Amino acid sequence: MLNDKVAIVTGSTSGIGLGIAKELARLGADIMLNGFGDAGEIETIRKDMEREYSVRVGYDGADMSKGDAVRGLIETTIEKFGRLDILVNNAGIQFTAPIEEFPPAKWHAILDINLSAAFHGIAAALPQMKEQRWGRIVNIASAHGLVASTHKAAYVAAKHGLVGLTKVVGLETAGSGVTCNAVCPGWVRTPLVEKQISDIAAQRGISQQQATAELLAEKQPSLNFASPAQLGGTVAFLCSAAADQITGTAISVDGGWTAQ
């Protein structure tokens, strides 16, 4: 379905981003990976994806907290692959604290990576996409882009902002062949969520299994995690012809969280 397409997935060296990158590669897209991690492990991931999916896979370690670096990632990808068709803004970080105790540096870091990086990436990618009259921008938001939770002021603000940005870009690109949508996952078993489970277990003096059950029961009626592969499938659908008229919207993959 995506033969001859080129995709950037930010924050794709693990977790949700890697699941999305693998699904797009499986469907034939060349991939530019991005993210932090051990250089040897990242190179193994890159080579394994090339071998398994018979596509070109590159890696760029651009720091998503820096706007110039984000724009540079877009330029580097177009230079390397000759085009850019799909931009998945997935990179994100988290920090929790009551708002009066929230460190200003953490507030700025979360907004820079979870929101401003998407702005810079979209601004740099759109000229190329408009020129070829085809493009897919998918912003990985969160259930927290639609509803709030305590102690997550920066994350909730950034993800709500990302959903708003999605709507604006959807309107500005309407009719151009480019679409922009947000995917809003609920709980996904990623390293970020594993840390939250461990924190709950430590604070409450309970097992990891009990902490996992409590985490899900509080928010996610299905009592099951969404998987990176499922989110990859959602992104792939938004890149398909069936989604040509879906733009400026947010799609929840949250086990019923935001239906409550």
Active-site residues, by number, are 155
CA angle 120, 247, 186 (to 5 degrees): 80
How far apart CA 17 and CA 55 sit, in angstroms, is 17
Residue 259's Cβ-count burial label (10 Å; 0-12, 13-18, 19+) is exposed
- Measure the N-to-C terminal CA separation of the chain; round to a whole number of Å: 35
Q: For residue 196, what are its two tokens?
A: 């939250």
Q: Which two tokens stand for residue 102?
A: 């929230």
- DSSP state for residue 243 in the 8-state scheme: G
Asked if residue 119 lies in contact with residue 162, where contact means CB atoms within 8 angstroms, the answer is no
